[in-house]
Every structure is written in C-alpha cells, then in structure tokens.
Structure 1
Amino acid sequence: MKHIKQYLSSLAVVFLAGLMLFTESMPQAYAEAQSEDDEIFTLESPSSKIVTQLYLEDGIPTYSVAMDQQTVILPSQLGIKIEDNQVDQANNEELAQSIKLVETSDHEENYTIRGNRSETHSQYRKYLYEIDYETQTIGLEINLWDDGMAFRYIFNNGGILSIDEELSTFSFPNGTEVWYQMDNQAMQSLYEHKLIEDFSGREIITASSTFELPEGQAYVNLSEAELKDFAGIAYKSVGDNSVKAHYWSSINGFETTADYSPWRLAIITDNLNDLVNNTLALDVSQEPSEALLDADWIESGKAVWFEGYDNQGNIIEDQARASLEASTQLGIKYHVIGNNWRKWGETIEEALVMVKPMVELAAEYEIGIFIGHDVPNLDLYPDGNLFDKQARQNFLRQAKDAGVAGIKFGHIESETLESVNIYRTLLEEVADLELLAIFHNSNKPTGLSRTYPNLLTQEGVRGMQYNLDALNNTILPFTRFVAGGADYTPINFTDNLRLGDGTWPQMLANAVIFESSLLTFIESPVVLASNQAADFISLLPATWDESIVLDQSKIGDMAVYARRTGEDWVIAVQNAPAEVKELEIPLDFLSVDQTYSSLEYHDDLDNKMGYQIQENNYTSKDVLTITVNQGGGFVAYLKN
C-alpha cells in the first residue's frame, strides 16, 4: 500500500465509491444547537453537564469539550485520511467547506451488565453531521453523556477503503497529569505518570490512559469501543499538550470495507467514582443476540489452576481430589489447565483424551474446566494456528466434545485488522458451542463483553505473575480497569516473591478491587483453604451488584472501595508504598436501621505476611477507623 505523507493541518477524506446521504432533517427541539452564522455548533449532554463545540478552524474540523463550564479538552482536530490511487492526489489537500447538522436525538436504555454492578442506565444525546468537501462528504456521529463523549466517522462507501492515518486528537491544559503505560502488545508494563507538557513527542501510550486535570478538577480516560474491521489505536504524543489516535500495529495503513470507524471514547468525570462506574464502551457496543442475553450456561465465578497430574497428563487422584474438595469449600467454580495439555498427545484429539478424565473428575464437584490454547501457532504444532478456520473449528469442536467449560485463548498481541477480528470470530464460534472464553496476552477491552457475555475476562494487565507492585495497584483501578475487568490473578501465600512490596491484606483487597468475572487466584486451593483468610475468600463473589469508589481514593496513592453483593457489603483498601495511613471511613452507604456483622483483615504492621483479624458490628451511623501499612491493605466483609 502506498503511504501518503501527512499534509500540515489538512484533512483528506477520499471515498472509493458511494456517498453517505443523510435525509432526516434537524429536529426543531434542537435548532438552538446551531449558531447563527452556521459555523459553530454547541452540543450538550442530557443535563448539559458536558458541552462540546464543533466548528471549522481554517478548513479543519475542530472541537473542544467543557464540563460544568470548565474547559476539559482544548480545541482539537478531527479527521481521517483515506488513500485512493485512482484519484488525483491534489484532492487530498482540500479543506472542509462546511459542517451541517443532520440529526439530533435522545437515547435512553436500561440493561444488565456484569462486573462493577449488575445493571446500568444509559442516557445520551446523539448528533449526526455531514462534513462537506469539494469532492466528497464524510459523516461524523457524536454522542454525549453526562460522563463523557464518543465520536466516530461514517463512510458507507460500499467498497474497499485504504486507511492511511487518523487525525483524531485530544489536547489538554498545562498541568494535566497523565497516567499511562506503553506496552500496546499485552498491556503489561508498569504505569507511569508525568505532566502532559513534559511529553517528548515519542510516547505511544495505550488507549486506556487517564488524564488528571490540575487540582483534580476533571478526569479524562481515553479508549475505544466497537472495534471491528478496523485496526486498533493507541495514542501518540504529538506536542502542544496533545495526543493523536495512532494505528500502532498498522503504521503503514490498512484496507477495510467498514462503514464506520470504531468509537473514540473520552470518559469525562469530576470524581473517581463516576470514572470507575462509567459504561460508555458498553453503551455503544452491539447488544448480545437473544440466545446469549439470558443464556443459563454463562456463569461468572472464582477459579484456580487445576492440580494433580503428571507430565504426561495422568491424574494423580489423591492430589486432584484434595484440590477439588478445597475448591468446593471456597466456592470456586472453575479450574484452569494451561497450554501444557497440548503436549499430552501428537494431535489435538490425542491430547484431549487425557483432558477428558480431568473434566469428568471436576464435574463430580460441579466444577468446570478451562483449557488454554494460543491463537497464533506459537507452539509450532501443525494444527495449532487458530487464525486458520479449519484448524480453529476442529479444535473447538473437539474441546466441546471433551466437555470443557471454556477456552483460555492466548497471545494475540496485535491490533491489526486481522487480529482485531479474530477476537469476534473466536467469541462467536465458542458461543455457538456454548463455551466460555477468556483472553490472555491480549489487548485492551473494547466493549466486547456486552456483545458476547460468554467472554468472562481478559488479561491486558500487569498482574501477580510479575509480582505485586503496590504503587501500580493504586493506579490500575483508575486506568486499565476503567475499560473493563482484567485477569490480574491475585492472592498467593506460598511464594514470597509474588508479594512484592505489598502485604497479605493488600492481596485480599486486590481480589475485591480488581474486578474479573473469572476471578482466578494464583494459588493452590488447598493452601487458600488452610489460610486464615479462607472464610473471606469463600464469601467473595466474582461480580458485584453495586460499587462505590470512596472519597479517600487518589490515583497513585490509595484505592478505597465499597462493593455490594446482595444485601452484604465488602470494603477494600489498597495503599501505595510511600507511607502508613490512618483512615476514617463513614459507613453511610449501609442500609439505614440495619446492623451488620463484620469480618475484618487489617495489616499487621510488624509482619507483612500476616493479619490482624477482627469482628465487629456496624450501622450506617458508624465510622470505620483503620491503619494501613506502607504497600498495605484492608478488607472487611459486612454481612447484613
């Protein structure tokens, strides 16, 4: 593909075929959204908390965003470059001539979700525009919620587009602190932070980064959603306090038949609770099919690694049964077998012969089995490349016949168009077989868990396989986890290196704060059941009915959560390693006139591999007072 150089301050949109025609007129109710000179448009969220202005600046579509009359995103460019060798290249330098508002409409819906809470209410205002050039027109759709915005480009060309570059930019005020990491392949780097004005112009940060404006006046998390038939983006620093959408794994461009670009999301809030509880990525994602909406075979749950077999895959029955019995005591629903099962036979069929007895043994305890399989052919088996349709469907059918509950897919580590689409292909095909799925060494979440609720979790996080990092753990809830759950694999009591600079109570808090619908512990269930925290672990759910980020929380300093499951509440605290902290937590989120009994795990200030365990009674009028160690934590299960 021929690469077209970037023209300074130009927006080039060339269609191979067709023209998107909008026929609906602007509703009278929103006529005031258009300025008198027809050059500046003011867009408002349902309660006018978020206000966007859209206009042409020297022929370039430009926008800015304010929250509560305070500018959050400074004037920034919009646009996308599309290559067409059949068109005179001079046309690529043309500037936009006008922006026309075509449609404005309000949207509202309630739907069930899984993770931070069990249901959500979505309410947003949709604006649809035409951007006219001398020879072509592009559609621009902008949605505004009271907690953010999303926009996408509309092509509807009916042919093949060669996408060269995207100009979507986000510009921020001086003093904005950026919390980011740059491992776009697997998202497993430690998060860093610095001021936006200190960016060098070389950073390529993941589309799961959070921008904290001066004095905490706003938080902006940038991501994308409904990613399909398109390369995925990161954000590249480009100077002038700006980051721009960047096709990090398709830097020479790509071809697509898509009618739309993915959504570019800017979650915008004035507090961390709203940031964490946003559902913008889910709101703009396709609804699940009717067959998946209430499928009784899709169940969240806690998980551990399957134990009790030798190198050839033969079951060591006493060890396996002890593990399964301990899992039952702890309420663990799934066991995971890694990719090593594939070594138990020359072919997939032969290897699965060894897996099937494990599935049958686990079924005696009502526990399901996940098996791992890399998507690219990393293990060099001739039948192992799941990008190949025949190899993929052969494996999935045989895995289903072996009775497994789900597949742990690994190592996609790319966001080319082909890699982006394999996520959906795999999820559709396992759904047809009523199989669950998780992804490891994966990219960022993009709302797929709404379309495919059989996707329980995906990694894309620096978890305990790298050992606990207490500072990073106080950043993750407000960056990576804003996009969706992640398989952090918390809690390990036997390997002291895993604990890093944390404490045992922080590990328990990780299991509460780091949401995952397949909550997998990186520890033997026998060890978990023998630990003093066994009672807490047995009570812990994998998903929540309600979540509150409490006011003591601060990015890079402390995460303080209250989560509800049924009538019970769980409080969790993660502290950075800088200093010991004294906290007072008002319990006014508890039900009025109810008394709760608590099971509490406090830091032992003299022993990071221990607890101070307490039991108390509380009402909504009480204040919980705790001391949290450096890199420490706290959890309490409050039972009604």
Structure 2
Amino acid sequence: MKTFDAQFRLALLLSVLSVSCLSAVETVVSPDGALEARVELRDGQPLLSLARRGAAVLEPAPLGVTLKPPFAGGFDLAGQTRGSVDSAWTPVWGERASIPDRYRSLTLTLKERGPLARPLILELRTYNEGLALRYRPAGADGAAWQLEREDTAFRFPHGSAAFAIAWTEDTFPQDPVPITALAKNAMMPFTVRLPGGAYASVLEAAVVSYPRAMLAKRDADTVGIALQGRAEGAAGAATPWRVVLVGDSEARLIEHAHLVQTLNPPCALADTAWIQPGLTISDHGNCLLQMADLKRVIDVAHTNGFRYLQLDWGWYGTEWTWTDADRKKFLEVNPSWAGDLSWVTNTYADPYTVAKGRVPYRPDWKSHTVVDLDMPELVRYARARGMGLCLYVHGDVLRAHDLDKLFATYAAWGLAGLKPGFVRYGSAEQTDWIRSLVAAAARHKLWLCIHDAHVPDGMARTYPNLMINEGGGGQEGNHPVRQDVLLPFTRCLAGPFDYTPHLYHKGKSHAHGMAFFVVYPGPTAVVRGGVKEFAA
C-alpha cells in the first residue's frame, strides 16, 4: 500500500510539472493598471493576448519568427526579467513640450527545444497608451540570423472591424470592414473598432535594417505581419517594435500616437537650433518657376505667416534623365516641339544645375513648365523676408548621387530643406537608404519632407529634421471628403502627414481647407494654391 501511495504521489508530481511546462503564463500590466498583456507558452508556442480593463483587445495569437533554418520543437522558457521606466523626453518640435515615457517591461528568454538550442528573446512593454513588442533572435552559436518570415499575429475579438487600405494612397472605406471579410493585405496603421466600442491600431516603430511590413489575413479574426522583403541581422539585433495603440475612442488613439516616436532612439543631433517649423507654400497651383511670379508668392506668403517656399518639379529639368526613346515618345505626343529642341537639354535631370526654358513633365504627357530662375537671388529675396527655400528632387535622382556632396552644394546655395519625391519604400535596403538620406540631410542642416509611399516609423525623434511625410492619400488622390475625416485616426497616427491641400480648390469648403492645419498638425505642412485668394 505504501509503495502504491508513493508511486501515485510521484505520478501526480510529474503530471503537474508536465502541465507547467506545457503552459507557462506571464503577464505585464501598464502603469495605470488599465492594460494587461499576457504571454502564454502553450505546447512550446508563445501566444499573446491583451486586455483593457478586463475586456479583450487581442485574443491569444502566435508570436515568434521563423529563422533559416526554422526553430525545431518549439520553445521552453529559459528566463525572464522585469522592469519599469517613469521618465519623459523633450521633442524639438510638436504640440507637446514633454512626452511621457512610462512603461512596465517583461523580457522573456525562450530556448529552442531542438538540437541547435538557439535563444529567442521577446521584449514586451505595456504603456498607458498601448503595447509594444519586439524580438532579438540569434543564429546557431551566436551567429547572424536570417528570417524566413515573422510570425507575429493579432487576433481581434469576433465582431471587430478595421479601416483597411491595400496601398499607401488608397481610399479608406466609409465604414470599417469586418476583419472576417478582409481579402487583401492591409497597410499600417491598421485601426480597428472593437465590439465594445473601444479602438486599437497596429503600427510599427524603429524600423532599422529591416523591411517594412503589412498585415496579412491569417484566419477569420486574425491578421499577421507580412514583410516586404528579406530580413536579417547580427546576433542580438532587434526587430522593429510592433505597436498596438489602445483607446476608448478614435480621439484617444490620436492622443496616444506619440508612442511611435517614443519607441525610437533619442535625438542624435547635438545642434537642433536650425530646425524651425513653419508653414510652407508651394509654387504648384500658384505660378510657373519664374522670378517675378515667385517673388510675388514670397511677398504674399510672408504677409500671411508662411516660413518656407517650396519649388516642386522642373527646377533642375525633368524629374529623371530621359532616354532617347522617352524623347521620341514625347515628340509623338507633342509634335509642335520638334521645331525648337532647346528643351532637350532639360531632360538630363542634373540636380546640381538649374534648368532654363521649357521643361516637359512626362514623355507621354503634354504638361510642361517654363523655368526662368536665378537661384541665389531667390534665396536672398526669401531670406530678406524671413523665409527659407525648399527644393523638390526625385528619389531616384538622389540615389544616383553622393548625398553628402550634393547636400553640401545645397547648403552652399543657402537652402533650408528638400522634398525627396517618389522615394522607394519597403525593403530593408530602402529602409536603410531613407535613414541615410535623413542623416545626410541633418549633417548639412537641411530639413526633409519625404513624399509618396514612405509611412513614418517615429524616426523624427532621432532625426527631427525629418519634419513631415506624405505616405497617405492626400489631395493628389482626389479622394472623397470622408477620407479627410478618417485620416487623423488612421494614417496620421504614424506621424505628421503632408496632405498638401490645394486651398480654395473646388469641391471642398474654405472652412474645410483651413481645418487641415488644425486636424493634421505638421511642422512644415505644405500648401498648394491660395496666393491669389490671400492677396485679395
């Protein structure tokens, strides 16, 4: 009888130990106690869930990455550390004099059960504003790692619906789409209305040497990270932060959006006094690139409180260097130009020189501008009125040149900023090039307004000369009015948005146009048109 009792006790103990290995649970709660993140190791698979005041924001869904070669046999919990931070940081510009950096952290070291026994470190932080998580993988014996995919997934409570778009400048749906009905990959920010009326939004922050991500459908209520290219790194290098903002309303998400910048490294610039926010007016919609007209724009803009004048495409010629086939195509579309070929010189896209005369826009279009610029005089004239000059340059043209050499030239010209356009976006190489672009501009005291697909990731905390980005469906997309109402709690959560409104343009009221500068705060928000009306 004693033997049987001993065997029973041993079996019971082994059973308890086995269950504890199969399902280890750790939680971390936000400083205000409202958010609780829970990580469960179930049969070797880490799962994440998130609750707000007891109500589900995220149901349990997989975490992790798939390396090359893949992890084998799942994970065991090898260690954990906890911490907390209660501090703040001071931005160079923006609506807040001080931004809180308050969180509680949980770092889990997971160990592969397979023969390679590789570690995977999972870092979680719960802020009052939301949740942030990232990984620190390692290859075998501490070697560099290469990802086959990132397995992070977000399972929302059944009945959740998202304001989802499939590409950067897409039009948001009038009403959120049930996650069960999503058919395409979706951009981030991915804003979700939860069944109880609260809101959440999935974003990414601090994307360094890593591709940008979209969200792909995993199952009925689940979306997961879908990388836009190959990912690799040195042992211990961190992946980007995956961020879930949470609020009881859309407005609360806007108030919490500073978390994206907070998750980036502190300012890397010793001197930031030269970084001066201010409204920017474009020649586009106001005049051609001719001195008399531009001086008039400067006069009117100065009187109305603008700080910068931006010259859009055409000042250095065509946006990119044309081929002979491009020129032939243009003459087919514009046969009247064959009699005077002086414009051909302007199709070689030299960003070190200023074009002269007629500049065509695209080989297959009839649009063109006429350039008559004295750049030193224009800079002098603007400076005399307390304004700076900003120039547009196509992203591919910038990539073809040494950035430090080119930006030193622009600094010598007396420029204040640049608008890189059609900047390539998505892969790890493109992500790093954008960071090198911003850093090079900072070295030469140039602020940037990056246009087209680039969605900010909070880099402006580290490099505050990155004042504003497009990365969304603004004026050029000719979207319905509802788009303008949805953007503040979707695209704008990622950072300042250069909507580039065309003021006093048909289809929208004057009050609607003026509201852009309150609803879409941006340190160097750009305006098209308006000079005629301002001067009236």
Q: What TM-score, normalized by structure 1, do the two folds share? A: 0.68
Q: Which of 184, 194, 212 is 1:203 aligned to?
A: 184
For the structure 1 residues 472 and 223, does the alpha-carbon distance in structure 2 shift closer, same or farther, using more than 3 Å as the test? same
- 2:354 aligned partner: 351
Contact persistence 1:148–1:266 (CA under 8 A): yes
- 2:248 aligned partner: 270
- 1:239 aligned partner: 219
Matched AA of 1:164: E
- 1:537 aligned partner: none
- 1:62 aligned partner: 47
For 2:270, what is the secondary structure of its paired residue?
A: helix
Deviation of 1:282 (Å): 1.3
Cα shift readout 1:297-327 (whole Å, capped 9, x = no counterpart): 101101111389997x6x432x333221111
Cα shift readout 1:428-456 (whole Å, capped 9, x = no counterpart): 11111111111000321100111111111
For the structure 1 residues 310 and 283, does the alpha-carbon distance in structure 2 shift closer, same or farther, using more than 3 Å as the test? closer
For the structure 1 residues 115 and 237, does the alpha-carbon distance in structure 2 shift closer, same or farther, using more than 3 Å as the test? farther
For 2:353, what is the secondary structure of its paired residue?
A: helix
Measured in 2, the distance between the counterparts of 1:490 and 1:100 equals 52
For 1:182, what is the secondary structure of its paired residue?
A: coil
For the structure 1 residues 503 and 526, does the alpha-carbon distance in structure 2 shift closer, same or farther, using more than 3 Å as the test? closer
**What CA RMSD, in Å, does the superposition of the two structures yield over aligned residues?**
2.4
Cα shift readout 1:137-196 (whole Å, capped 9, x = no counterpart): 11111010112000000136664422110110000112212012111xxx1111124443
Q: Which of 120, 123, 142 is 1:141 aligned to?
A: 123
Contact persistence 2:267–2:463 (CA under 8 A): yes
Residue 283 (structure 2) pairs with residue 306 (structure 1): yes
Residue 206 (structure 2) pairs with residue 221 (structure 1): no
Measured in 2, the distance between the counterparts of 1:308 and 1:112 equals 33
Residue 310 (structure 2) pairs with residue 336 (structure 1): yes
- 1:296 aligned partner: 273
Matched AA of 2:379: V
Equivalent residues in 2 for 1:411-422, closer than 5 Å: 411-422=422-433
For the structure 1 residues 440 and 267, does the alpha-carbon distance in structure 2 shift closer, same or farther, using more than 3 Å as the test? same
Equivalent residues in 2 for 1:515-526, closer than 5 Å: 515-526=521-532
Q: Which of 110, 117, 123 is 1:131 aligned to?
A: 110
Structure 1 stretches (4+) deviating beyond 6 angstroms?
A: 35-38, 307-311
Deviation of 1:223 (Å): 0.4
For the structure 1 residues 369 and 70, does the alpha-carbon distance in structure 2 shift closer, same or farther, using more than 3 Å as the test? same
Matched AA of 2:399: F
Measured in 2, the distance between the counterparts of 1:93 and 1:309 equals 62
Q: Which of 161, 174, 188 is 2:169 aligned to?
A: 188
Measured in 2, the distance between the counterparts of 1:519 and 1:451 equals 20
Number of aligned residue pairs? 463
- 1:286 aligned partner: 265
- 2:11 aligned partner: none
Contact persistence 1:307–1:320 (CA under 8 A): no
Question: Taking every aligned residue pair, what percent have the same amino acid on both sides?
Answer: 21
Cα shift readout 1:322-378 (whole Å, capped 9, x = no counterpart): 2211111110000101131111866433328843332222122121111111222xx
For 1:443, what is the secondary structure of its paired residue?
A: coil
For 2:402, what is the secondary structure of its paired residue?
A: helix
Q: Which of 295, 316, 319 is 2:291 aligned to?
A: 316
Equivalent residues in 2 for 1:369-384, closer than 5 Å: 369-376=389-396, 384=397
Gaps of 5+ in 1: 1-34, 85-90, 377-383, 531-640
Deviation of 1:516 (Å): 1.3
For 2:391, what is the secondary structure of its paired residue?
A: strand
Equivalent residues in 2 for 1:75-90, closer than 5 Å: 75-84=60-69
Matched AA of 1:387: R
Contact persistence 1:107–1:126 (CA under 8 A): no
Deviation of 1:271 (Å): 2.6
Equivalent residues in 2 for 1:35-184, closer than 5 Å: 39-84=24-69, 92-98=71-77, 100-112=79-91, 114-134=93-113, 135-155=117-137, 159-183=143-167
For 2:223, what is the secondary structure of its paired residue?
A: strand
Q: Which of 514, 527, 533 is 2:533 aligned to?
A: 527
- 2:519 aligned partner: 513
Measured in 1, the distance between the counterparts of 2:23 and 2:42 equals 13
Deviation of 1:50 (Å): 0.5
Structure of higher CA gyration radius? 2
Contact persistence 1:286–1:450 (CA under 8 A): yes
Matched AA of 1:336: Q
Matched AA of 1:303: T
Residue 455 (structure 2) pairs with residue 444 (structure 1): yes
Contact persistence 2:283–2:528 (CA under 8 A): no
Measured in 2, the distance between the counterparts of 1:190 and 1:116 equals 28
Measured in 2, the distance between the counterparts of 1:142 and 1:234 equals 21
Residue 429 (structure 2) pairs with residue 392 (structure 1): no
Cα shift readout 1:458-508 (whole Å, capped 9, x = no counterpart): 001211123352111111111111111100112422x42xx3xx3221122
Equivalent residues in 2 for 1:458-473, closer than 5 Å: 458-467=469-478, 469-473=480-484
For the structure 1 residues 112 and 190, does the alpha-carbon distance in structure 2 shift closer, same or farther, using more than 3 Å as the test? same
Measured in 2, the distance between the counterparts of 1:301 and 1:439 equals 16
Matched AA of 1:129: L
Contact persistence 1:310–1:316 (CA under 8 A): no
Between Structure 1 and Structure 2, the one with more helix by share is 2
Contact persistence 2:30–2:127 (CA under 8 A): yes
Matched AA of 1:304: I
- 1:542 aligned partner: none
For the structure 1 residues 489 and 197, does the alpha-carbon distance in structure 2 shift closer, same or farther, using more than 3 Å as the test? closer
Cα shift readout 1:584-619 (whole Å, capped 9, x = no counterpart): xxxxxxxxxxxxxxxxxxxxxxxxxxxxxxxxxxxx
